[in-house]
Chains A and B, each alone.
Chain A
Amino acid sequence: MLTVRGLSAGYDAVDVLHAVDITARAGELTVVLGANGSGKTTMFRTISGIVRPSAGSIDFDGRQLPDLSADSIVKAGLAHCPEGRHLFAKMPVEKNLMLGGYVRRRNRGRVRELLEHVYELFPILHDKRHQPAGTLSGGQQQMAAIGRSLMSDPSLLILDEPSMGLAPLVTAQVLDAVAQINRDGIGVLLAEQNAQTALRIGHHGFVLAEGRVVLSGTASELLDHPDVREAYLGV
């Protein structure tokens, strides 16, 4: 379980996040909504140790993440699949996945299992395993990025706009896979522009605006909330 309390963070001493409180319960799918520039990516980057917070606490299963280095955070079971994917473009798909298991490298058996599991989830990655990741289609690259994150055997997976730049049909495929990952027992913290689809597969949700949480509730509460309907569902 991830508990973020009073989190402020930003770039060059200017805060982008202002006292954010967010909770992602173990095994649940938590959705983060927010307009462009509202601070979703910054929040995720702070949780995974790339951006240092200026105030607040981030507790993950009893450990304070800001005290840990980025690699210890991955080892603790938190994986972050970033906006823009950040794959190793010139390496084959399989090498990308194996590097995803870098923090589990001492446990070869587990890494094998995880790899098989990723190939089951995304059979296309198995077909393309020898191809450089940069030559895959956008949707396939997103699957490779999610697969690489799963290789670290996380209990919580942060997904930052996995459908960005994808056609509607591919978006649906990717979000189906996200729902499947969550059904397999992995907690998910998902930022998504397709609010409706995201809330349908989610349990809880938060809405960020200008670096503050302005609304939170269960997924169905948010789906029915007039502000959400107006801002994100175009009703």
Chain B
Amino acid sequence: MTLFIQQLFDGLALGGVYCLAAIGLTLIFGVLRIPNLAHGTLYMLGAYVTYFFLVTVGVPYVAAIGLAAVVLAVIGVLLERIVFHPLRNAPHTHHMIAAVGAMFFFQAVAQAIWGADFRRMESPISGSVTILGAQISWQRIVIVVTAVIVLGLLTWFIKRSIHGQTIEAIEQDRTGSSLVGISPSRVSMLTFGLAAALATVAAGLVAPINLLAPTMGDALSLKVFAIIILGGLGSLPGAIVGGFTLALAEVMTSTYVSAAAGEGIAFVVIVLVLAIRPTGLFARAVQR
């Protein structure tokens, strides 16, 4: 039972991280209808920039994540402007090739600045609490709480604020959006900025638990793609439910079956879901 509670918390913390990373990807898919293959490298850069502010500059942990999120939001907007905006009328394969190019570029930049070796970001939040007999580290509690707060703010932004609503408007009807005066180009920038900032929060939260490396985004990239396919491409609740489902499945399988099975479970879950519900769990009824 103690082990189970321990794993449950690990799963929730990992789920929070997956959600934050996956939401950006699903929003970009909803707005631009492209799979942003470079998303994992934005997450990786987010981790390094957090590391830079925390270790090199020496600002407090939460401020470091916040500053890194702002820096990455700018990088996300630039990525949209420089790479994807010029391709807006091109076939989708061009986007994918461009995204792969951006991915290699970001990895090379990280390697040039921080080197190819693993780096460790010491957890600034130490200690743990005992809940129902299980030892839960404060870092994991901070991850879960921050993820919940950020997800709440994000949901408020997208559902309630007029700027956030433009994201869903474009997803639901591009022509209708243009005709009410919403500029698709502005919404694309907003979406990329938001996606990169969210990925950075995810990376900054998990960095003290994992190691930093220029390739750290690759495994995450596969998983967040699995999550948004699982949840239904473009669906916000889908990304949230998908993120927690996958994380819990992964943690529980690693503990009770084997670590290798845990790594592979994502793909087992996807194959099962796609076999039963090919459109994902939260398929959008309106597609165009």
Contacts and interface: CB of A to CB of B under 8 A. Distances in A.
Contact of B180 (A50, A85, A90, A99): A99
Closest 4 CB pairs of A and B: A74-B181, A86-B176, A103-B181, A71-B181
Nearest to A48: B179
B80 interface: no
Nearest to B186: A71
A98 B168 CA distance: 13
Interface of B: 162, 165-166, 168-169, 172-173, 175-183, 284-286
Contacts of B175: 50, 82, 86
B105 to A, nearest CB: 31
Given A71-B178, A99-B162, A152-B180, 19 more contacts: A48-B179, A71-B182, A74-B181, A75-B181, A79-B179, A82-B175, A88-B172, A88-B173, A89-B173, A90-B168, A90-B284, A90-B285, A91-B165, A99-B180, A99-B182, A100-B180, A103-B180, A103-B181, A105-B162
B165 A90 contact: no
Interface residues of A, number: 32
Nearest to B173: A86
29 contacts: A48-B179, A50-B178, A69-B183, A71-B178, A71-B181, A71-B182, A73-B181, A74-B179, A74-B181, A82-B176, A85-B176, A86-B173, A86-B175, A86-B179, A87-B173, A88-B168, A88-B172, A88-B176, A89-B286, A90-B286, A99-B165, A99-B166, A99-B169, A99-B177, A100-B180, A102-B180, A102-B181, A105-B162, A134-B285
A70 interface: yes
Contacts of A89: 172-173, 285-286
Interface in A188-205: none
A87 B180 CA distance: 10
A108 B273 CA distance: 45
A80 B179 contact: yes
A99 to B, nearest CB: 5
A87 B174 CA distance: 10
Interface string A41-85: 000000011100000000000000000011101110001111001
B175 to A, nearest CB: 5
Contacts of A81: 179
